C-alpha cells in the first residue's frame, strides 16, 4: 500500500508537471509571461491536497480502509462535479485549480489501484 509520503511526492510532481503543461499550452510567443512562483506553488499545493484528500476522509489505518473516497464511483462523481463546475461562473483560475485538485485525487487512486486490494467500484 503506498504510504502518505508516496502520495504526496507523486501528487506534487503531477502538480508541477500540470503547471508546465498549462504554461506551454497557453504560451503566447508575442507576449511571454514571466515565471510566477506563486502560481507554480499553488498548482503543486492543490494537486498535493487532492492527492491526500482521500486518506483524510478515510484514513489508511488498515489495508481495507477504502470506501467511497477510494472508489471508482467516487472518482466518477468527482469528475462529474468538476465538469459541472467548469460551466459555472467561476474564474478561469478557479476552474484550473479545481482541475488540478481532481488530478491529485486521481494520482491517489492510480497508486492505490496497483495494490492487491485495488479499488472498490462503490
Q: Which stretches of 26-122 are DSSP H helices?
A: 37-57, 72-86, 92-113
Residue 69 lies in a domain: yes
Residue 23 lies in a domain: yes
Which domain, by its residues, includes 19?
A: 4-113
φ and ψ at 88, to 5 degrees?
-80, 175
Residue 119 lies in a domain: no
Residue 28 lies in a domain: yes
Residue 104 lies in a domain: yes
Domains: count for the chain: 1
Record the pTM. 0.89
CB 100 within 8 A of CB 7: no
Residue 94 lies in a domain: yes
Task: Note every long-range contact of 115-118, with CB atoms under 8 Å and residues 24 or more positions apart, other chains counting.
Answer: 115/1, 115/2, 115/63, 116/63, 117/1, 117/63, 117/64, 117/66
Q: What is the pLDDT of residues 8-67, one digit of tens each?
A: 999 999 999 999 999 999 988 898 889 999 999 999 999 999 999 999 988 888 777 888
C-alpha 99/C-alpha 48 separation (Å) is 12
Q: What is the pLDDT of residues 57-95, one digit of tens each?
A: 888 887 778 888 898 898 899 889 888 877 778 888 988
Residue 120 lies in a domain: no
Amino acid at each position: 500500500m503506498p504510504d502518505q509520503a508516496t502520495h504526496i511526492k507523486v501528487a506534487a510532481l503531477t502538480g508541477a508537471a500540470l503547471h508546465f503543461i498549462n504554461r506551454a499550452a497557453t504560451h503566447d510567443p508575442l507576449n511571454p509571461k514571466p515565471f510566477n512562483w506563486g502560481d507554480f506553488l499553488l498548482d503543486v499545493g492543490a494537486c498535493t491536497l487532492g492527492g491526500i484528500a482521500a486518506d483524510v476522509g478515510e484514513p489508511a489505518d488498515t489495508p481495507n480502509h477504502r470506501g467511497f473516497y477510494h472508489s471508482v464511483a467516487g472518482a466518477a462523481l468527482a469528475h462529474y462535479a468538476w465538469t459541472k463546475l467548469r460551466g459555472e461562473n467561476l474564474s478561469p483560475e478557479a476552474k484550473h485549480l479545481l482541475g488540478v485538485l481532481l488530478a491529485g485525487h486521481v494520482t491517489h487512486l492510480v497508486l492505490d489501484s496497483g495494490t492487491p486490494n485495488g479499488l472498490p467500484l462503490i
